[in-house]
């Protein structure tokens, strides 16, 4: 696989990335069900187990905000400007 950013990926890399997407979505969904706010999730570093996927393009907090917005339908009100 030739991604838009980063090194060329194998099928195993894609499977691992898909697993990360599902796991992080589930972690945020559970935190929401437990009554956690976005700020509480950030303070708890909820996505820390997946920090190897974080980078300059999308940080842990930006990805957390994206998952939160997707699962709640609430926008954080911030625009992300990329180069």
- What's the average pLDDT block by block, 10 residues per block, for the chain (83 residues)? 76 93 98 97 97 84 92 73 49
- Phi, psi dihedrals of residue 79, rounded to the nearest 5°: -100, 140
Determine the Cα–Cα distance for residues 56 and 72; give it in Å rounded to an integer: 25
What pLDDT is attached to residue 8?
84
What pLDDT is attached to residue 35?
97
What pLDDT is attached to residue 77?
60
| pTM across the whole model | 0.82
């Amino acid at each position: 696989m030739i991604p838009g950013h980063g090194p060329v990926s194998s099928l195993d890399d894609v499977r691992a990335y898909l697993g990360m997407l599902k796991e992080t979505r589930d972690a945020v969904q559970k935190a929401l069900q437990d009554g956690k706010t976005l700020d509480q999730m950030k303070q708890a570093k909820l996505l820390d187990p997946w920090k190897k996927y974080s980078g300059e393009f999308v940080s842990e907090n930006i990805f957390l905000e994206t998952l939160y917005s997707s699962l709640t339908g609430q926008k954080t009100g911030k625009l992300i400007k990329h180069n």
